Amino acid sequence: MDVIVEINNGKIRGYEGDDVKIFKGIPYAEPPIGELRLNTPKPKEPWNGMLDASEYRSVAPQPLPVTDFFPPPPQSEEECLNLNIWTPGCDTMKRPVLFWIHGGSHIYGSGRLLNGRSISRIGDIVLVSINYRLGPLGYLYIPGAPTNIGQLDQILALEWVRDNIESFGGDPSNVTIFGESAGATSVCTLMAMPKAKGLFSRAISQSSAVQAKGFEVSGRKFTAEMILKELNLSNDDLSGYRKLPVEDIIKAFMKAQEKALLDRKALEFRPFIDNDTLPQHPIKAIQEGYAKDIELIVGTNLEEWRFWRVFEPKFEEYEDSRIKKRILNSMGLIGEEEVKLDGLIDVYKMSRKESGLEMNIHDIHDAYMSDLIFRTPSIKFAEAQSKHQKNTYMYLFKWKTPFEGGRYGAMHAMEIAFVFGAFWEDDLWTFPKKTTETETLSKKMMNYWVNFARNGDPNSNDALEWPSYEIESRKTIIFDKEVEIWDDPLSKEREMWYSMNQWSQF
């Protein structure tokens, strides 16, 4: 059945499915082409007639996946700045709004990969998912062009929600931003961006990668030089860059990435400190109370790095010496050469033994990388906000998928299916399968997320109490077959990371 809504831009036709009203591909900005490529997004102009929002529209241009393990991206075009809405009713109920920012290293992904129908219907909330510019179209640094453009897209989408979501049964004064991986990094970054102030009141960070280092402009200059060289453009030729076919830019990015990897480097596409849109490191800003009014949930998965076993099907067969060399190389890249490898391994063995976890060198490598990229930054994030905001909460997702004999465990992104209620949908690509166990855990997690979006506190009378995060006890909820509360999980690993140089400034 058709559902008609009218906003300032014009009329929109969506449809109803499973007691939820659905609107797909609503443009929130003008197409970022021509002079708008690598430029501040421009709000969408009004349209004539009826906008059909029954089908998804294009996603941001991006390279193809490097493995067949992942589904190919849907149609991608520069005309990608659109959003999707799931709502129980286009009425005057003023429901809480959950605003989803997808992950994918700021290179891949889209707002259409996840279906918001279940969490909207079960939680009686409005779910919004967005597309924003990625990679060399959203985060490339060229003198004369605005910076952190992908973040500016997210902010414009939040402004659209503020101005229009009431027509979809949502409350513009009760918006919770949430995201996973690069989306969680965006969540943390938005909390430190002046232009995002007042656009949301709560935030949920699922596996943020806001590390101590990597927010400097130097890495962005290197990235731009590599890509522009492939395009035969000078480092400041913004005009030339805006005239090129988008396909050429994506191909140049892929070639530049290959060359950088051969030199043990990587192209960087993520927010950076520009003294304008992002004045300082997000964790530093949060430590100083910049986002003190924002209620917050932060968490990670136990075995984040096992996700990357997808790219190495024979990883478990690698010799121990090869794995140890990887850890040493990584320590050198982050400037921690003085850390003794044997001592680091001993800490992990001791910590893992106490917690009943795997202790071979392959698992220690994955634990080390998980802590480096996700867990330590996330703990620092929660710690920083907890100094100013009592409604700060921490989780550790520990449920392990049995997929492929369990080799992926509680890997990166595993929790998303549980948060979105993917087990009640038939159009989602997901590892966990529908069982009594997964359904039960999903209902519990959705309940916590929805309660938090509703009033800033995840707790309810019919669930285990989730204590706020305090530095003294570091109480953390554990999501597994059973939901529990632990004090300072894997504390020996956290203490080791806190002793390293890179976190001394925080």
Give 385-388 contacts, CB < 8 A, sequence gap 24+: 385/286, 385/291, 385/292, 385/294, 385/296, 385/298, 386/468, 386/469, 386/470, 386/471, 387/287, 387/289, 387/471, 388/286, 388/289, 388/291, 388/292
| Cβ atoms 311, 66 nearer than 8 A | yes
Catalytic residue status for 412: yes
253-273 burial: b if 16+ Cβ within 10 Å, else e: bbebbeebeeeeeebbbbbbb
Cβ pair 282, 203 in contact under 8 A = no
Of 412, 415, 442, 493, the catalytic one is 412
Judge whether 473 counts as a catalytic residue.
no
Q: Give the Å distances, CA to CA, from 272 to 89, 149, 197, 205.
A: 39, 11, 18, 18
Buried b (16+ CB within 10 A) or exposed e, 187-210: bbbbbbbebbeebbbbbbbbbbbb
Find out whether 267 and 223 touch, Cβ atoms under 8 Å: yes
Determine the angle formed by the axes of helices 376-386 and 491-498, rounding to 10 degrees. Answer: 80
37, 78 in Cβ contact below 8 A?
A: yes
Backbone angles phi, psi at 327, to 5 degrees: -65, -45
Backbone angles phi, psi at 21, to 5 degrees: -90, 135
Place of tokens 């430190």: 192
Question: Any residues with CB less than 8 A from the CB of 133 and at least 6 apart, and which?
Answer: 32, 60, 80, 81, 139, 149, 150, 153
Q: Are 45 and 9 in contact (CB under 8 A)?
A: yes
Q: What is the dihedral of CA 229, 233, 234, 240, to 10 degrees?
A: -150
Q: How many C-beta neighbours within 10 Å does residue 472 have? A: 7
Q: Return the H-helix or E-strand segment holding 256.
A: helix 246-262
Angle at 219 between CA 503 and CA 64, to 5 degrees: 110
Q: How far apart are CA 310 and CA 94, in angstroms?
A: 42
Q: How far is CA 263 from the centre of its chain?
A: 28
Active site residue 181: yes
Residue from 181, 186, 208, 378 carrying the catalytic annotation: 181
Which of 303, 304, 383, 415 does the annotation list as catalytic?
304
Catalytic residue numbers, as ranges: 181, 304, 412
